[in-house]
A and B are shown apart, each in its own frame.
Chain A
Amino acid sequence: MFELISNLALGFSVAWTLNNLTFCLIGALLGTLIGVLPGIGPLATVAMLLPITFSLPADGALIMLAGIYYGAQYGGSTTSILLNVPGESSSVVTALDGHAMARQGRAGAALAIAAIGSFFAGCVATVGIAVVGPPLAGIAQQFGAAEYFSLMLFGLIGAVVLASGSVIKAVAMIVLGLLLGLVGQDVTSGAGRFTFGIPELSDGIGFVAVAMGLFGLAEIMTNLERARSVPEGQETVMPVHGLMPTKADLKTSRWPILRGTVIGSFLGILPGGGAVLASFSSYTLEKRIAKDPTRFGNGAIEGVAGPEAANNAAAQASFIPLLTLGIPSNPVMALMIGAMTIQGITPGPQVMVKQPALFWGMIASMWIGNLMLVIINLPLVGIWVQLLKVPYRFLFPAIIIFCAIGIYSLNNSPVDVLFTALFGVLGYLFVKLGFEPAPLLLGFILGPMMEENLRRALQISRGNLMTFVERPISLGLLIATAVLLAIVILPSVRKGREEAFQE
């Protein structure tokens, strides 16, 4: 305990200097901005800023880059709520209820609860990194191919539960997602699958292109269609009654925020899923345990509070494997490793021992950064709300340009831009036909990982299927999956579920 306090004191002494406070503020603001802008993600931004960090001091550079990453989680929710265009993939579920709240004129409350939930989760996760970082990272290290396979299976079954509407349609979308995920070079054999001899397809279809097309462009198209039938002005301006949530809102959100924080902290440590999986899981959980699940999708505040807390907690927790083991849990963390290496720091377990000032300084800066985000974001909510008053004819071209720039900047590939457009059209068709794109996205992400880990687990065990039940963590996840499956299939539950999804 005493050690923890003295460690944190050391951290704050590093973070609380004018230089580092400034870097923290720049990072947090920049993160919010790119989070708000659909298409420009933290990955592209951190990548673009890497050359600049060459000339900065190590602690300042890392504090700023970290700020961009968690700041983006704050900003990403803003466009989800106001425009139904998730700024970040982790804010996709926030759009479901957040935007419904905005339509009811409660955009202010949704934004505020998202910020409060994120702040709370950020604080808890920061303390979490400091207290349980090292031992927790040990659990993540026990995750081998078999455990990952079982985890993915669990996630896919969860996607069926998450989907609203017809189960058949949800399964169809998951399978379509799986098929799209298969495109590209097979990791194990090197064979090209569905590449049609196009070299750009050999690395598969980009996740951002799929997500941005299905969620961003498709929404813009449906909005355009609606805007034509509604007189100018009435469509876009939604009245905002007060920025602060009511007491009842806060009371309802209390537990979802807490649960989201726990889910996010755990999933953030695991490589792969991270913030996206965390927000999906939290939403599923909240919907499952809600007394009246029909409210979900129609502006339930729990559907904003839980996922927002979860994605921010996950963003913060993903620093645990980076800082304690030197292992990146997502591409942004991989860039952070690059930034550390450039600075002459060898990432890995000894950073904590050899560079205590840097390690604890970064942790302290995360807490300060989260506080800054709430302070700068709650007043800025007013400015974001103003975005609603911008006519669609200005807003839409601007969004599409930012999307195109963001997509292009990922790989400098015009093909990615084309794919985004293609998925936009596809997403529009899905909306028209009543298909939910979320399960497709989950199938797209989890499918290839699941296949890869299944084959890897069998390669390592030399074809012995028992490896999945002999390993305790994997067995536990498989049992949980079976329970989940039973819940969906049981007739009484299914009836209730169908009622729940009546819209």
Chain B
Amino acid sequence: MRLGILASVALGCLLTVGHAFAQDKYPSKPIRLIVSFAVGGPTDIVARVMGAKMSELLGQQVVVDNRPGAGGNLGADVVAKSAPDGYTLLMATVSTHAINPGLYKKMPYDPVKDFEPVGQVGITPAILAVHKSLPVKDAKELAALIKANPGKYSYGSSGMGSILHLCGESFKMMTGGLDLEHVPYRGSGPMMNDLSAGQIPMAFDGTPTMLPQIQAGTIRALATGTATRARALPDLPTMQEQGFKGFECYTWNAIFAPAKTPKPIVDQLNAAMTTALNDKAVFGRLQDVGIDPTPGATPAQLADFVKAELAKWAPIIKASGAEID
């Protein structure tokens, strides 16, 4: 461990010395793109799709390295503590950079100070849906039904402190504190299983898991969580359209580098991301997994976005009482 730190310090010195040469050559070796979630999950797919295109554009392999654990904190921490040379990047999520800082009692890194924003990939709207047996057609009617039957309804989520949990808590807060029990699952797959079977009456989730069930008619979509309608469900009104002012609930993916990564490298990476996202095939693949890509987002915009997200979720996490050791 200590050897590793020494080695990275030595490497850092070398890189600073050879700064002028290294810069025009970047990238001169493969780049590690760390995914702090398991292989095959949505963030992993995003990283692999982006990594493949960016490898082409940068002329060096972008290797996806999965470091799952501790709700994404393990992998993000690896990047936070890496040399700021542009060879270790993070595919960040709403969890690693917006929710976890307010949720975990002990955070190994600071989402703002320890990272250099590179660029945003896109956002995935959360959809509010109910089991087909519920006699409601929109979010307003759902709120009224829950209010009229206290102690009867619950909502599912992919886990304590997950974005889907916080979506539900926002919904509760905006409707004046409904009597609605939170039922956490281990991930959104088992939750959707119970929702489509009617074991739980309602839940928020992203479009990729929701769409097949919506199309099959086992669940009914009531509203989109973003300010604008989702590309995959253009006919579905948003929560804001239905009178839930300021309701915004979505997940997102963005690439970060360790803090103090030189600006030319960040700009080069951001340019590669923009070109990749404007590629038709990449854009299409990301849409297939429910993402609305946001090409052209600058590092500065991403920095502001993260601060806004942190400010948005902190009070909701606090009010919900969610906390992880």
Point out residues on A near B: beta carbons under 8 Å: 47-48, 50-51, 54, 141-145, 185, 187-192, 195, 197, 199-200, 202-203, 271, 325-328, 334-335, 337-338, 341-342, 344, 346-350, 411-413, 452, 456, 459-460, 462
Nearest neighbor of B38 in chain A, beta-carbon distance: A411
* Contact indicator B211/A199 (Cβ below 8 Å): no
Which residues from chain B contact A327 at a C-beta distance below 8 Å? 189, 192-193, 196
Task: State whether the Cβ of B27 lies closer than 8 Å to any Cβ in chain A.
Answer: no
The segment out of B69-77, B261-269, B308-316 that lies at the interface is B69-77
CB of B70 to closest CB in A, whole Å: 4
Task: State whether the Cβ of B133 lies closer than 8 Å to any Cβ in chain A.
Answer: no
* Contact indicator A185/B184 (Cβ below 8 Å): no
* Contact indicator B212/A142 (Cβ below 8 Å): no
Question: Can you pick out 12 interface pairs between chain A and chain B where the beta carbons lie within 8 Å of each other?
Answer: A47-B40, A50-B48, A187-B186, A191-B325, A199-B70, A202-B70, A271-B190, A335-B39, A337-B189, A338-B44, A346-B212, A462-B151
Which residues from chain A contact B152 at a C-beta distance below 8 Å? 462
Interface string of B34-69 (1 = CB under 8 A from A): 000011110011001000100000000000011111
Q: With A and B bound together, what is the CA distance between A452 and B187 in angstroms?
A: 13
The segment out of B139-147, B153-161, B221-229, B292-300 that lies at the interface is B153-161
Nearest neighbor of B322 in chain A, beta-carbon distance: A190
* Contact indicator A188/B160 (Cβ below 8 Å): yes
* Contact indicator A341/B184 (Cβ below 8 Å): no
* Contact indicator A412/B66 (Cβ below 8 Å): yes
Known: A202-B69, A350-B212. A344 touches B324 (CB 8 A): no
CB of B136 to closest CB in A, whole Å: 19
Interface string of B144-186 (1 = CB under 8 A from A): 0000000110100001110000000000000000000101111
Determine chain A's interface SS by DSSP, over half rule: loop
Q: With A and B bound together, what is the CA distance between A144 and B216 in angstroms?
A: 20
CB of B265 to closest CB in A, whole Å: 25
* Contact indicator B70/A348 (Cβ below 8 Å): no
* Contact indicator B184/A348 (Cβ below 8 Å): no
Which residues from chain B contact A338 at a C-beta distance below 8 Å? 40-41, 44-45
* Contact indicator B212/A452 (Cβ below 8 Å): no
* Contact indicator B183/A459 (Cβ below 8 Å): yes
* Contact indicator B215/A350 (Cβ below 8 Å): yes
Point out residues on B near A: beta carbons under 8 Å: 38-41, 44-45, 48, 52, 65-71, 73-74, 77, 103, 106, 108, 151-152, 154, 159-161, 181, 183-186, 189-190, 192-194, 196-197, 199-200, 208, 211-213, 215-216, 218, 285, 288-289, 322-325
Known: A338-B40, A342-B285, A460-B154. A348 touches B189 (CB 8 A): no
* Contact indicator A347/B212 (Cβ below 8 Å): yes
* Contact indicator A190/B189 (Cβ below 8 Å): no
* Contact indicator B160/A187 (Cβ below 8 Å): yes
* Contact indicator B215/A271 (Cβ below 8 Å): no
Nearest neighbor of A138 in chain B, beta-carbon distance: B197
CB of A54 to closest CB in B, whole Å: 8
* Contact indicator A200/B69 (Cβ below 8 Å): yes
* Contact indicator B159/A187 (Cβ below 8 Å): yes
Q: Which of B67, B181, B200 contacts A462 (CB 8 A)?
A: B181
Q: With A and B bound together, what is the CA distance between A189 and B160 in angstroms?
A: 7
Which residues from chain B contact A344 at a C-beta distance below 8 Å? 288
Q: With A and B bound together, what is the CA distance between A54 and B213 in angstroms?
A: 25
Q: With A and B bound together, what is the CA distance between A202 and B107 in angstroms?
A: 13
CB of B280 to closest CB in A, whole Å: 14
* Contact indicator A145/B215 (Cβ below 8 Å): no
Nearest neighbor of A142 in chain B, beta-carbon distance: B197
Which residues from chain A contact B70 at a C-beta distance below 8 Å? 199-200, 202-203
* Contact indicator A341/B289 (Cβ below 8 Å): yes
* Contact indicator A271/B216 (Cβ below 8 Å): no
* Contact indicator B45/A460 (Cβ below 8 Å): no
CB of B157 to closest CB in A, whole Å: 10
* Contact indicator B181/A200 (Cβ below 8 Å): no
Which residues from chain A contact B212 at a C-beta distance below 8 Å? 326, 346-350
Q: With A and B bound together, what is the CA distance between A190 and B74 in angstroms?
A: 17
Q: With A and B bound together, what is the CA distance between A346 and B65 in angstroms?
A: 27
* Contact indicator A460/B200 (Cβ below 8 Å): yes
Q: With A and B bound together, what is the CA distance between A346 and B215 in angstroms?
A: 10
